[in-house]
Each structure stands twice: as structure tokens, then as C-alpha cells.
Chain A
Amino acid sequence: MTTSANKDKNIGFPLNIKSTIPKHRQELLKWNGWGYKDSQFVYQDGKVHFTGKRYPIGEQPLPHLIGYVTETMGVDLNIQSIERDPPKEFDYPEPNIPQNVFELLKSLEIPYSVKIMDRVTRAHGQTLNDVFILKNGQFKRIPDVVVWPESHDDVVKLVKFGNENNLVIIPYGGGTSVSGAVECPQDEDRPIISLDTSQMNRILWLDKENLVACCESGIIGQDLERELSKLGFTTGHEPDSYEFSSLGGWVATRASGMKKNTYGNIEDIVVHVKMVTPRGVLQKNCQAPRMSCGPDFNHVIMGSEGSLGVITEVIIKIRPLPACRKYGSLVFPDFESGIKCMREVAKQRCQPASIRLMDNDQFKLGMILKPAASYFGIILDGIKHFYITTIKGFNIDKMCVMTLLFEGQEKDVKISEQKIYSIGEMFGGVPAGEKNGERGYMLTFVIAYIRDLGLKYQIVAESFETSVPWDRAVTLVQNVKYLISRDCKNFGITHFVINSRVTQTYDAGCVIYFYLGFNYSNISDPVSVHHQLEEKARDEIIACGGSISHHHGVGKLRTKWYTDTVSRVGADLLVATKKELDPNNVFATNNFLTFSTKSKL
């Protein structure tokens, strides 16, 4: 059974794609931070601006940012920390791989590299810890060799090779993991191979009848969308990292896209998936839309975080491109009213493609990133500042904004808009125009770049998220904020930010996304402090009825809560699955649980 069965009938397929991201990623992307090299916040001649033209915010002065970072975050712009240079070959140990094994690897004729930059680039994801180490230190363990398989068959060979030679394989997609999942286990003494899927990025075939496409797992979001849109389709799967993250990564982490209301989360989009394990290939025999056939093993593959095998090919749903796409926004007098509105929208199941609610702090951050000179004038364009604050009596320090994205037929979008705005009105919401909505979504891509600026001026920051039943959402946010504020003080932190937004709605609850950053000029181990704060926050989240994670995954950062989350029996079940699929622990990621590294052969 092969998923490339109908490739002959599919003219133009398999479609080879020239990825935006080069094979040696560091040529285009920052080696020690987020995103494109040419895109970053810089402070120059007393002004901050964002470089490049990739994002609408680029090349315009951002006059409000300086006041914010100096006052709210206590930054001294004259003190800039020095970041280390890219590592040289001698900075890390030689690849730990026996010569004979290395020869065998070469004989597979799969592209590989042992160059230091290739190895370091694949030693990490995008956690605060990762980036901090890149800028200031050194990883304890990096992959010994990077391989670029070009097809499912290459992967089959590699996995067999790894299994037979007592090696470790860590799948690497886009490297956007924020759970430590892609990092090397620190005390692994077997050779570690980083299996970079980026060169397996073809669209193998497309089935317009059934609206599915079969893709190789290394394809990254922006390439996939670009190519599909040329053909008049979209997957509609848009995690905020979709410029860089890969289809395989989405499946492996159970990713969630911004527009899941219309298109579904990855588990709704995946129809069929192939995973290469040391025991063979796990897959189903058809692309039927749903089956009653015992436990669905797609769900063993989804969320496996690289610890059971390599996902190679995925059949996903595609949709015709929407005729109309429209942004929108509403402002609410306070967070609670906003949540009530979201709850009502979810109750009526009339969510547009995306509906998000930013709290007051995020709302203000949005204003701060305005290029314009006047602070308020444009933020509330479409409606007048005067109207909101004076007539409606909103308090600038309480109000928050809901951003909306509608997709579909023009008339459906219109109806949907009307519906949402009338529900909004029920909860004191006031429409605040398309621009604000659009900006809100644009900013989610740009905000990821801010951390690099912060780290230059002694600010550490990271996000964490959760999902929670509706009736516990408000208190969860309130308690986490309280706790962080209190504990920041206990740690001696004087300047910090803790803000939140509701990013998704479900029938039974919602997703809450927190952003925590602080000035660490007087803190000796900021990453560990951040980690401790996050740990306390997560304890509280769980006590409040929230989950371990909605979409970031468990990785190595959240193992503490894994067993409690799934029960002892559940954890044992995972161990058993692992033993069955990967008895030698080739995929020794140490995600979820620490499986014994020394295999019982």
C-alpha cells in the first residue's frame, strides 16, 4: 500500500518545490534568534524601527516603543549586551560517531553534514532557554551529524540504519518547537543524528475530487500555502509559526492554526499519515474520511513529538480559496465582557475563521507598536478615541480588543459580521474597524521578533498557553497574573510584563495564551527564574482546571505534569507503545518521560 499510488494520473505531480528556506537555514535565517536575518527591531540614533520590507511594519519609525521599554520595562538603552559570535568548529566536540558507522552512513548516499553551524542550528528550537544559550553560551549536547533524506524511502533506510547501529535519531522539521522537544537529551552518549525533513517537501499528488493533497512532511507552511494557492486551494492551517514550521512538525506536535474555526486543527485536517518506526511503517490502508476500527492510531502519531518515529507523508484536506477575506475588530470595556462575548459566540457556534481577545496590556502593546506619531489617533481608527472613552466611558486601562478574521463567500461573510457585531453589542462591545483587526494579526507575526530586541537590553520573555473550560477562564487569567506579579516581586524583579489573550474558542472552553517578560539586570540566572515562574504559573493553571498545553506540546519543558495529566495508566500505555514501536529507543528525545536510554537488546 503506498500513498503515491495515483501519481501517474496526476499531471504535474509530484510537485517539486523550491522552498523559501534554504537547505543551510542560517544563510537566510538568524542563527541565534527568530526569523529572517533581514527582519529585526533595531535601536539606532535614539529611534527604534523594524528592518526590511517583509512585514508591513517595516522601515517605519516606532516612536512609542522607546517610552515603553524604558518606563515599563526599565530598560537602559545605553547598555547593550554583547552577543557571542557564531560558533566555530573547535567550540564543540568533534562528532561522536565511530568511523565504521560513519562510513556506513555515507554509503546510504543521503546528504549529510558535520559542519558545526549545521549541527548547532539543529540542536535547538525556539524556547527562551535555546535562544539565551545561543546568544550567551553553549549547548551541552548537539547532534553529531545532520542528514537530509529526500524521500520516504530515504527515511526508511535511515531508521533501519539507526536501529541497527545503536544510534539516536531526532526528527527536525522547522525547528520552531517551544517545548524543548527538538533539543538533544543532555546526557545521551550514543551518536545523535538530526534528521532534517526540509528536503522532503514535495506535494506528491492532489485529489481535487475529494479535496485532499498528499505532501511530504518537510514542507513548510508558507511554501505549502503558496503552492496550493497557485492551484486555487488552501489548507487553512495557519499556526503563527507557519512561515517556518513544517507539516511533519504540526502532526508531531498536534498543532493548532489560527483559522481552526473554519478549517480545523491539524487532527481535523489530517486524513492519512505515514510514520516510519524501527518496527516498520505505521499507516492505514485508505483515505476514507472516518473509520470505526478500534483506537485511531493517527492519534498515536499525532503529538508523538519525534519519540516514536518519523512522519514522512501526510494526506491533508484542502479547501478552495475563499472568495472573500475580511478583518474586523471590537473593543470591550474590560476583559471579562470580552470573554463573555466569546463564550456566547461559541455557544451559537458562529465563530468566524479567527476570533481573538487581547487583554488590556496586549492592547496597549499593540498601540506601542504603532508607527504613527499620535498614540491613540490611529489605534482606534474607524471609531474615535473620543467616542470610546468619553461617550462610551471606556477606561483606557481596562479596555481590550477583539480581533476577527472572516473567510468565505462574500454574502456569508456579511451575515457572519452582522451576527458577531450584534453579539458584541450585547456585551458592551463597540466595533473598531478592519484596520485594527488586520494589524492585530500582522502583529502576531512581528511580536515573535521582539524577544531578540529584548535580549539585547536584558529582557527575557516567553509565552505559555493552556486550554480551559469556559467557566474557569476568567479566574485562571486573574490568578496567573496575580501569582506572577507576586512572585516577580519575591524574586526581586522590578520591571515585568504579564499579559494574556484568548486565542481560540471551542464548544466547551477556550485557549489562553500568556506572555511573560521581565528585566533581568539585577537577576543572575534569568532563564531559570523565568522557568520557575512559568512552573508556578502552570501549577496554578492546572489547579484552576486548565490543561498542560493546548498546542505547544509537552517536550522536555512540561514533563513534570505529564503523568498526572494522562494518569499513571496512560503514562504506562505510552511506555508500552514506545517499547513496541521503538524498542531500542532510537528516538530518544526524552519528551514526555525519560525512557531508559540503554536498550535491552
Chain B
Amino acid sequence: MSAKKFEDLLEPRRRELSNYFYINRALNPQVAVQISPRPSPQSHQEAVLNSKKISELVTEISQKQNVKREEIVKQLRLILEEIGYKKNLQVIRYLGYLLTKIFLKVSTGVYVNHQGISQIKSQMGKCPVVFVPTHRSYADFIVFSYVMFAYDIEIPAIAAGMDFQGMMGMGEMLRNTGAFFMRRSYNDDSLYWSAFKEYVNQLVSKGDLPLEFFIEGTRSRSNKSIVPKYGLFNMILKSFFLSQVPDILFVPVNVSYDRILEESLFAFELLGIPKPKESTSGFFKSLTILKESFGNIYFNFGEPISTRSFFQHKSQHSFGSIHLHETSEEEKKLIPPLAYEIIRRQQLCTVVTYTNLISLILSKNLTRGQQYTGFEQLGVEIGMWKQILQSWGATIFEKDVGEAIRECLKVQQKLLHCDENGNIGLVTNKISVGKLNPSKLKAHVLSEDTISYSVPFIMLQLYANPILHYFVDAALIVIVLRSFGKMIKDELFKHYCTLRAIFSYEFVLLESWFKMRFEDALLKLKQEKIISLHQNGLYYDVFENKYFEEVLISSVQPFLLSYYVVTVVLETVSEMVDEKTILVNVQSVLENALRENKIFIHPYCLTLDTLGNCLMSLAKNNIVKKTRRNNINVYDVNREAVRKLKANLEIYIPAFHVIKSFDMFLHLKSKI
């Protein structure tokens, strides 16, 4: 696939004398559902108030608490004001103008696969359409709306977190472009949640705007997919299950950036350094960013998924008032596969950039102890990867390699530098974080040295992460074969499954798809001559492509190590342990190992994202039991299970002592 697949929205903007006419052009935005008379922000709120569900609730509360209906209705109006979206074309045009100016200054391009978007546009008008973009940055919200504006599609009603409301002006601005707000806190204000659910139900079943929400629930700090969150997704699907709408089209969209606005913020957050509150001043500070360069933004719209076709079967809600029905338990069970499918399709839509490849290659070289990578060598390796990924069906954003590297170096100048001999390496700076208050930290009080050393690595990894899903399955197979030696397919699959299950949060995947992914990875490995078959095709073993093998193993190395250390820590701490204690211990073990500096340890293994994924996965696999007490997570450790897992992981790290464990990588190095 060529770059022609993509269209740069900024191109025409750059060429025109003034953007004024573009911004003020006549619009005839495509709606999701043709409804007349058109519903309005106000009519939706009224419909919520008049709905059967809400009026019954009001009656119930007023009787129970002996307050007047009007009182409760007044409260509800306030709640709906807080939730409800608005539409102000003036604001939209103004923002459109502002964004055009900003993009022209800091971006080299906003690329959109125009075919994808025209396809969905041509399908709109008949049933609800829900855009489901990946969520990697706050910028997603607004850039997405900008793209809709450019293609003359109604700006979606966007589900936004209340934290935006905290940013003075920002919240209202977003609201005026169609954002509606959802409280995050897990309070059980039943009036609020009933109103919110009903509001969403109205938007889906009676609204004419497309919807937009982030199925991952939050910005992924790691720049790779997060397991789906079901709250809002369930609410949206209710209309389908209750037959209030004939179908819902979910449009997976991959949004990615050559450079993420929040990259350094994320790096700190991943280490557990408190993130500055997202306040307006913070936002405006980020406007000093205007002097910097952020490269391209990529939008890849995937094929819409028809809920109807996906579920095939539809159950019945034949009895009682339909307006009081809820999604049944049976129906809820159908939901996760669709959620995972959306995420899978988002991944399929990944636009692989040279920045991703550069990060992957540099990271691999750093792992093998090579601090610098020559410009030429980098170019050669990129070329190779491009080809391989292409043959695997990935979408590569193509450019001239030399130019791409230079571009990347420019955009990432805070992270990468190139000396006069063309040697490329990480920029290291002393970072001072001042005095940290341990009680305010999420985890260990890392030393400034550790932080200074780690941050660049972590930032680099952020740009390799989005393409790891292409490698992880192959990598796990290679690791199994490397550790055990040759084996038959069934056995290999068994080992693969065990590992894959442990990483099912880290590299999002549904268990029912393991087999498919395994077969797929085997095929790729054989094609690239990384594994081969022995003895009449019975046994699989690692083959001659050492280079490739190394890339694969290094790509999952930090994750494997983190998970292993978590099991080591869980074996020693008390059986009832709070989350912070675990995190502190793991980070401190790893920090010590880093300090010893005997062999290379990738600092990404310190990240709380990975440790968090690990704990969720352990809980899911019944190795720990998670409960919430006084607002903190407490884990009940099943020692036996932990020991088993540790023993299992240990096989892949050939020595039980943590430090020595890195022999594996030495061993690897020696082989190259």
C-alpha cells in the first residue's frame, strides 16, 4: 500500500492565501441517521426527562425520600446540563480556524485514508454510526472533529471525561462542538447514572449525530492497545439488543502521531512520577509547544462493523414495557468478542511509520548493548522491515528512507540525536524532579539518576509499542523454542497458550483467538526462516535467521522481565498485600538491577502500565484476588499459583537470581 492511500488535509490549506473561506464554506454535514424533524441537544434532554425509565425513577425517589417530584426533576435538569452536548457552528468554525493555524505551524501533515472515510460516509444515513478511535492523546478529540469537519460529516457526539470540565473554557468549547460528559468516579449516584444511561440511549436510538467514544476508556499511556472497557459500550449496545435500532455500525479508527503531545508526560507517568493536573494552565503551557514540530498525524478509518452481522442472532425482549428493559445477562456475554474485534481492527488499521521502525531498531540495538546505530545501517534495516511488515499485510506510510530518518530526527530532536559521523543515539539529559513525597507517589521513589536514564528509553519504546502486536506471537514462540529446544506443534501450542494468557492484557487478545494467532505466527516464522521443521516435519526448532530472532526476543524482553519480577516479589511479600507495596518492591528490585549495570536491562520494565497489566492478568488467571478497600487495591496472593507461574517464567529467564537472569541476553549477544 502506498502513501497515496492517504490524503493530507493540510496540503490545500498550505496553498491557499487565507484559510478564511475554507473555514466559512457552506456545510452540508452528513448525519448518521436521517430523522425529521431533526433532534436537537435540547430535545434529547427533554426526551430523557420524559422517558418512562426516568419518570418511574422520579416517582420512586420522590415517594421514598418524600420530596416533591419537581425537586428531583430540577436536580435532573442540572445533571443533564452537565452531561449534554451542544452544537454551536460559530465555535466549530472558530476552532477549525485555530486548529488549521496550529497544524500549519507544528505539523507536517494530517493524513487520512480518504477511501475509508468516503466508504463510511456513503453508508451513513440509515442507522447509528459509532466511531471508535484509538486513544493515544488528548489531541484525539479535537483532531477527530477536525477531520469530520474537513469531510463534511456531522461532528460526532463525543463521550468525554469530566476532567476536561476542569480545564477552564476547554470543557465548554468541546461541549459546543458536540462533546457530552461522563463522570469517571465510581460513585453510585443512581439518579446521575440513570440519567446518563438514558441520555446515551436517546443519542443512539433517537439521535441523528454519529457517536464517538474510546473503547479503551482512557488514553493509553503506553501507545499500545488497552483491553476494552464495557460501561459506555454496553449502554450504546442496549439500543440494538432492545431492537430500538436495526443495526449499529462501529467504525474502528486508528489515530497515530509521529510525536505524541504528551510523550514526556506519559514517560513520567509510566514511571510513577505524579502527572501534573490537567488544568487549563497546563494546556496553555502545552501551547508553547507551538514552537516545536510534531510531524504527521495519521487517521486510518477501518471497515465499519455491522453489529447485526457480527452477532448474527438476536434475542427477544417480548414481554413488558420495552422502555423498562435492560440488556440481558445472555446478551452481555456477547459483548466482549465485539469489543475485542473492534480493538483488533484498530490494530489492523495501524499506520506503520518510519518512526515506529526506527524506534524498534534502535531499541533492539540498545538492548544488545549497541549505543549508536549508523545512519546507513538504520536505512538498511528499515528497508528490510518495511518489506516484511508489508508482506504481513501492514499499512506502511512510505517515504524516501533517508528523508524519513532526517524528518524523524528533527521531530524527535529532544529524544534522538545524530553526531557528525551519522551515528544515531538517545539524548541523555540530567532530569531533576525535585523532592518527591513518597506518600504521593504511586510506587517506588526512583532516584534522579534512574529517572534520567530511563525516561529516554521509555519514550523511545512508546514509538515501538504500536507495532509490537505484529511481533508478539512470533516472539513468544521463538522464546519457547529457544528455552526448551525443539518440540512438536501441540506442545509448542500449549506453551504458547500459557504465555499468551499471561500477556493477554499487555498485548490485548481474546483467548478464543489464540489458535488463529498461533498458526499465523508459525507461518510467518517459517516464511522468514526463523523456525524450521525437523524430522519429517514433526518438530519445530529455531533456525538460522539470528537477526530476526534477536529483534523478536528483544521486543518482548522488558515485558517478560517485569512479569517475572512481579512473581518474585509476590512470593516474598505477605499474602494480603496492597498494590503500592507490590509496585514499590518490583521497581526497587529492578532499579537495583539497573544500577548494577552489569548487563543491559531495558528501563521500560519499570513502567507501571506493564506492572498494572501484569496484576490484572494475574487476577484474571486467579493467581491473585483483587479487592478494593478504602479506595486502595489489595491483593490476596495464591502462593502456590504464584510459585508455579514463577517457575514457568523462570524457564525463559535461565537463572533464578534476578541479576543473573540477564545471562539470557548475554547468551544471546554472544551468539550474534
Contact = CB atoms under 8 A, between A and B. Distances in A.
Given A334-B36, A395-B36, A471-B322, A479 B246 contact: yes
Contact of A543 (B245, B316, B321): B316
B634 to A, nearest CB: 44
A331 to B, nearest CB: 16
Which of B126, B127, B314, B318 has the most chain A CB atoms closer than 10 A to its own CB?
B318
A471 B321 contact: yes
Interface in A526-554: 539-540, 542-545
B323 A471 contact: yes
Nearest to A472: B322
B315 A543 contact: yes
A483 interface: yes
A559 interface: no
B247 interface: yes
B36 A479 contact: no
A545 B318 contact: yes
Which of B243, B245, B316 has the most chain A CB atoms closer than 10 A to its own CB?
B243
B36 A476 contact: no
Interface in B228-252: 243-247
Contacts of B314: 539-540, 543
Nearest to B247: A482
Nearest to A476: B243
A159 B323 CA distance: 52
B246 A540 contact: yes
Contact of A545 (B36, B246, B317): B317
A471 B242 CA distance: 12
B159 to A, nearest CB: 24
Contacts of A469: 322
Main SS of the interface on chain B?
loop
Contacts of B36: 334, 395, 398
Interface residues of B, number: 16
A522 interface: no
Interface string A467-487: 001011001101100110110
A545 B321 contact: no
Of the four ranges (under 10, 10 to 19, 20 to 34, 35 or more), the interface on chain A belongs to: 20 to 34
Nearest to A395: B36
B309 to A, nearest CB: 10
B246 A478 contact: yes
A362 to B, nearest CB: 19
Contacts of B246: 478-479, 482-483, 540
Given A398-B36, A485-B126, A543-B314, A479 B322 contact: no
B316 A545 contact: yes
A92 B214 CA distance: 66
Contacts of B127: 482
Contacts of A478: 245-246
Nearest to B316: A543
B247 A472 contact: no
A476 B243 CA distance: 8
Nearest to A545: B318
A235 B592 CA distance: 97
A544 B315 CA distance: 9
Nearest to A547: B318
Contacts of A485: 126
B243 A472 contact: yes
A468 B317 CA distance: 12
Contacts of B243: 472, 475-476, 479, 540, 543-545
A449 B443 CA distance: 80
Contacts of A486: 126, 247
A542 B126 contact: no
Nearest to A541: B243
24 contacts: A334-B36, A395-B36, A398-B36, A471-B322, A471-B323, A472-B243, A472-B322, A475-B244, A478-B245, A479-B243, A479-B245, A482-B127, A485-B126, A486-B126, A486-B247, A539-B314, A540-B246, A540-B314, A543-B314, A543-B315, A543-B316, A545-B243, A545-B316, A545-B322
Given A482-B127, A543-B243, 6 more contacts: A475-B244, A475-B245, A476-B243, A479-B243, A540-B243, A545-B243
Interface of A: 334, 395, 398, 469, 471-472, 475-476, 478-479, 482-483, 485-486, 539-540, 542-545
